[in-house]
Amino acid sequence: MPKSIDSILNRQENPDFILTLEKAWNLRLLTTDDAEEIDSFIELFNDFFQLCEGENGSWTEILNACPPSKDIHRDKFVLGLYEERTLIGLLDIIRDYPQTGVWTIGYLLIHPKYRSQGLGSKFIKDLETSLNAVKLRCTVQEQNFKALDFWKSNGFLITDQIKETLGKLESVTYILGK
C-alpha cells in the first residue's frame, strides 16, 4: 500500500503538485526500493532506449540522472502511475531546471497496453494543472518521431535544438516547451 506522498517526499516546499495529482491518479514516488519493479517495467521500452540511447535502459539511469546543478533528493521526482498494483506509467521530472519556474520532463513512459488511449495526454494535462502556471519543458531525439508528434499534439513547441550524446548515441535533440 503506497504511503502518504507527504511522508515519502518530506518536501514541504512544494508538495501540492503531487497532492493534486493524487486526487486523480494512483501514483507514488519511486525510489531505489523499487529497482526491480522499475527494471521489469523499462524492459518493455528497450526499443525506445535503443533508438534514443543505443543501449537498454536501467533503473539506475532513471533514478540517478540529474543535472549537477540540482539536488537529486530535493528537485528530482520519479513517479509511478498505477492501475491497482500494476505499474502502467513512469514520469521523471526535475524541478526548476534549467531555471526557476521551469520543470523538465526527462521520461514519460506509458505501458504498451495502455498507449493510444489518451492516458499520457491526460496525465500531462493534469500535471500542468497541478503545477499551476509553471512552465514545462522536455527533450526529444530527432529520430523519435512518435514522441515528437505526441509532445506537439499536447501543445509543446520546439524552442531549440542541440547535438548531444545520450548513452552510446550522438544525435540532434529537440528542446520543447509549453
CATH of residue 127: 3.40.630.30
Number of domains in the chain: 1
In a domain, 166, yes or no: no
In a domain, 176, yes or no: no
| Extended strands (E) in 23-117 | 26-29, 76-83, 86-94, 102-110
Cα–Cα distances in angstroms (integers) from residue 17 to residues 74, 75, 134, 150, in the given order: 14, 13, 10, 23
Residue 24 pLDDT greater than 90, yes or no: no
Q: Picking from 10-14, 79-83, 131-135, which range would have the lowest pLDDT averaged per residue?
A: 10-14
In a domain, 155, yes or no: no
pTM of the model: 0.86
Residue 177 pLDDT greater than 50, yes or no: yes
How confident is the model over 137-157, as pLDDT tens digits?
A: 999 999 999 999 999 999 999
CA atoms within 13 A on the CB side of 142: 11
Which residue, chain included where needed, has cell 497532492? 19
In a domain, 83, yes or no: yes
Quickly state the pLDDT bin for 17 (edges 50, 70, 90).
low
In a domain, 160, yes or no: no
pLDDT score recorded for residue 27:
87
In a domain, 140, yes or no: no
In a domain, 59, yes or no: yes
Q: How far apart are alpha carbons 58 and 38 in whole angstroms? A: 8
Provide CB contacts within 8 A for 47, sequence distance 6+: none
Q: State the residue range of the domain holding 67.
A: 5-134
Q: Say how far residue 128 (Cα) sits from the centre of its chain.
A: 13
Counting residues of the chain whose pLDDT is more than 70, the rounded percentage is 86
In a domain, 171, yes or no: no
Cα–Cα distances in angstroms (integers) from residue 87 to residues 25, 91, 165, in the given order: 12, 11, 29
